[in-house]
């Protein structure tokens, strides 16, 4: 049989609104109101037919391949569809880990999308979505990449919004990352009740960038700042840069994103963050649905 292969982009995401609710459910999860949008910074996931299921990574993620979200997602999807596990998967990393950008979840979703394309399966097939939700809270979002509001543990889709592509963004991450587990533990020590995400949802329904800028929110940010105080310094620095409209920690951090007035502004901010502060940085834009396919 001829070898088949496919290459899929695995874009990062931003949390435009992240409202974690105090307390945990019977599964140990917090209720999370999460409004997310994709950005152009992407890993690359390559899949080809092979004798067995294998996973290689361009960067060491610190976990054995069989525990990686990509491997687990591919294995679970093969089981769900009764398919053999004959695939070699390689992930070329560009999205930093422990950044709140959803890199691991996006990689897993891209593996699912790639297999669906090889099998000619609808990626929104109920079996695919069920596998995605079983791997991680954000994974299902990356199956479509449309701006979306999710609740439950951040895995139950409530609403999708019109595309809001092309908004200039500067991403800045200090050397230290934030463990999601530790961030939620720190949140539990000093919980904050979040407001409704409705203002952000209304802005996205209207494709109102000014409204998005006005209503950015993340009540996990104080917990992340206590764990890695430099994240607060990054946000303050970004807010002081000319042309930055607003800045916020993404997810549990440690990456802070800035919505900028122009692409030139985003590039300048990213360059200055690298050259004057020695922080990792990237200039990108928001992206719409279907942006994974090369």
Burial tier of 274 (Cβ tally within 10 Å: 0-12, 13-18, 19+): middle
* The total number of residues written for the chain in this structure: 294
Buried/exposed 155-166: b ≥16 CB within 10 Å, e otherwise: bebeebbebbbe
Classify strands 280-287 and 32-49 as parallel, antiparallel or unpaired.
antiparallel
First to last CA, the chain: 24
Catalytic residue among 4, 13, 33, 175: 13
The beta strand positions in the chain, using DSSP E, are: 5-20, 32-49, 54-57, 87-92, 148-151, 156-160, 168-173, 217-218, 244-249, 256-260, 280-287
What are the two backbone dihedrals, phi and then psi, of residue 48, each rounded to the nearest 5 degrees? -140, 155
φ/ψ of 29, rounded to 5, equals: -100, 150
Sign of CA dihedral 155, 71, 255, 38: negative
- The percent of the chain in helix, strand and coil, each rounded to the nearest 5, is 35, 30, 35
Considering the candidates 43, 107, 138, 155, report the single residue annotated as catalytic.
138
CA distance 39 to 72: 25
Task: Point out which residues pair with 17 in neighbouring strands.
Answer: 35, 217
Residue whose structure tokens are 């569809």: 81
Query: Residue 41's closest CA among 195, 168, 198?
Result: 168
- Tokens 């300048």 locate to 268
138 included as an active-site residue:
yes
Q: Is 4 a catalytic residue?
A: no
- Catalytic residue numbers read 13, 138
């Amino acid at each position: 049989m001829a070898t088949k292969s496919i290459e899929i982009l695995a874009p990062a995401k931003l949390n435009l609104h992240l409202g974690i609710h105090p307390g945990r459910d019977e599964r140990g999860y917090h209720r999370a109101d999460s409004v997310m949008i994709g950005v152009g910074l992407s890993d690359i996931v390559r899949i080809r037919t092979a004798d067995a299921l294998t996973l290689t990574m361009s960067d060491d993620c610190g976990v054995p391949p069989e525990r990686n979200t990509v491997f687990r997602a591919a294995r679970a999807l093969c089981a769900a569809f009764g398919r053999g596990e004959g695939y070699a998967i390689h992930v070329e990393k560009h999205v930093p880990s422990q950044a709140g950008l959803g890199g691991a979840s996006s990689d897993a979703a891209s593996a699912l999308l790639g297999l669906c394309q090889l099998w000619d399966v609808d990626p929104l097939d109920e079996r695919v979505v069920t596998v995605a939700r079983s791997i991680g809270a954000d994974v299902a979002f990356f199956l479509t990449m449309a701006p979306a509001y999710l609740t439950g543990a951040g895995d139950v889709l409530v609403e999708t919004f019109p595309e809001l592509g092309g908004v200039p963004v500067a991403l800045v991450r200090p050397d230290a990352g934030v463990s999601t587990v530790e961030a939620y533990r720190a949140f539990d020590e000093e919980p904050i009740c979040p407001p409704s995400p409705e203002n952000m949802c209304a802005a996205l329904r209207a494709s109102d960038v000014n409204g998005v800028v006005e209503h950015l929110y993340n009540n996990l940010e104080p917990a992340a700042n206590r764990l890695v105080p430099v994240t607060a310094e990054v946000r303050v620095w970004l807010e002081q840069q000319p042309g930055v409209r607003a800045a916020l920690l993404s997810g549990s951090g440690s990456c802070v994103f800035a919505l900028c007035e122009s692409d030139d502004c985003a590039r300048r901010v990213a360059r200055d963050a690298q050259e004057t502060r020695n922080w990792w940085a990237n200039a990108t834009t928001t992206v719409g649905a279907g942006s994974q396919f090369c």
